[in-house]
Each structure stands twice: as structure tokens, then as C-alpha cells.
Amino acid sequence: SLCAGEVPSLSYQELKDLKKTKVLHVDVRERWEIDKFGKIPASVNIPLGELVEALQMDPTEFEEKYSQKMPAKSDPVVFSCLAGKRSRQALSFAMSLGFS
């Protein structure tokens, strides 16, 4: 497990390899950052300020808002941001909501 009590960190190559599997990649940067720095291919943008609410949405509402199937609590999810601080917060939020 990538979440064995420590904050996991992935290299670019590890992320590329993971994305070949069934993993949801959530980019928690703000929308203006996506516009300025670009979208990460095959990622869904859910700004950190929306994440807790998003992860508690009805699956149909989640899919309508983010054009992505809502992850189950046991599904693999990777969070990313610009420097790593927000993605660590996102991981903490998700785990507090019961995501493994």
C-alpha cells in the first residue's frame, strides 16, 4: 500500500506507470493554475477547497460535475498539486473520509 502510515510520494515515471492501471488522478490545484500551467493528461481537477464536499457527493452528482466516475473508498486514487503540500492535505482529507 502506498499509504502505509507515511506520506507517499511518486516520481513522474511511477505516476505514468500507475496511470496505465485503473487509478483516478485528482489534480487539486486551483482552476487558474490549470489555465496557467496546463492540465495533466487523464487527470480530473477538483480544487482542494472542493475536495471534501466532492468525495461525499452522490455518485451521479460527482459524475455530472467532474465528468468522471466517483471513486469507491477502496479504489486507487493519486492526488497531485504544484509543490506537494495540497496533495498531502488531499490525502489526509480522503483518508479521514474512509478512503484507503
Is 81 marked active-site? yes
SS (H, E, C) 1-67: CCCCCCCCCCCHHHHHHHCCCCCEEEECCCHHHHHHHCCCCCCEECCHHHHHHHCCCCHHHHHHHHC
Of the listed 81, 90, 91, 94, which one is catalytic?
Answer: 81
Catalytic residues: 81
